[in-house]
């Protein structure tokens, strides 16, 4: 009987102690939501969605990188500082979004940092400036087909030209 009571006491202590420990566990860190851009073209914009903040806390987003100015970061029409641009946004249900606009001459990587005003949690993500796509992916067979068609056209022009010269020489010889 003593053994059973001791076992129950240990089980109860572990259960209560385990629940108390879980209550004080560290929260999950904020994260960038799937679908947010990892790259933005120079002069282009992208909305970065984040999650993991306290339900309605103020989140301050800061964008740092080469050429960052007042118009490069916004949330609900708020614009901010020059060199390193910051804007504060209230999280809704633990989620906050910010629009990032890279400078027209952007190159390299830009760092977006979010800091929760209540939780003190920090999120850091990199956004790369990429060059805009300026062409199309054309299959190799289509390129070689076009080269072949141009080659056949050149051969046809040479044949017509040679045939014309031959007639001119023949007409001149008859005269």
pLDDT tens digits, 141-163:
988 999 999 999 999 999 888 88
Count structural domains, the chain. Answer: 2
Confidence bin at 81 (pLDDT 50/70/90):
very low
User: CATH no. for residue 123?
Assistant: 2.60.40.2950
Contacting residues for 60 by C-beta, under 8 A, at least 6 apart = 86, 87, 88, 114, 115, 117
- Same domain? For 78 and 158 the reply is no
Token readout for 169 is 């020489």
Measured distance CA(48)–CA(96) in Å, rounded: 9
| Conformational region of residue 65, where left means phi above 0, alpha means psi within -120 to 50, and beta covers everything else | left
Where in the sequence is the domain holding 103, given as residue range(s)? 31-129
CB-neighbour burial class of residue 9 (10 A; exposed 0-12, middle 13-18, buried 19+): exposed
H or E element at residue 60: strand 58-64
3-13 average pLDDT score: 63
Q: What is the mean pLDDT of the chain?
A: 78
- Please indicate, yes or no, whether residues 90 and 162 belong to a single structural domain of this protein: no
Same domain, 65 and 118: yes
96, burial (CB in 10 Å: exposed 0-12, middle 13-18, buried 19+):
buried
The residue to which tokens 């977006």 are assigned: 112
In a domain, 41, yes or no: yes
**Does residue 15 lie in a domain region?**
no
């Amino acid at each position: 009987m003593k053994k059973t009571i001791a076992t129950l006491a240990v089980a109860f202590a572990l259960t209560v102690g385990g629940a108390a420990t879980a209550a004080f566990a560290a929260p999950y860190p904020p994260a960038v939501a799937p679908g947010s851009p990892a790259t933005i073209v120079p002069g282009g914009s992208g909305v970065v969605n984040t999650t993991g903040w306290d339900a309605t806390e103020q989140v301050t987003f800061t964008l740092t990188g080469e050429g960052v100015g007042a118009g490069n970061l916004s949330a609900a029409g708020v614009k901010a500082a020059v060199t390193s641009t910051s804007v504060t946004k209230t999280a809704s249900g633990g989620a906050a979004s910010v629009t990032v606009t890279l400078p027209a001459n952007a190159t390299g990587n830009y760092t977006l940092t979010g800091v929760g005003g209540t939780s003190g949690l920090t999120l850091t993500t990199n956004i790369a400036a990429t060059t805009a796509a300026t062409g199309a992916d054309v299959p190799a067979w289509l390129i070689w087909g076009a080269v072949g068609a141009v080659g056949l056209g050149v051969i046809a022009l040479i044949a017509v030209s040679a045939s014309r010269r031959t007639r001119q020489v023949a007409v001149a010889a008859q005269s």
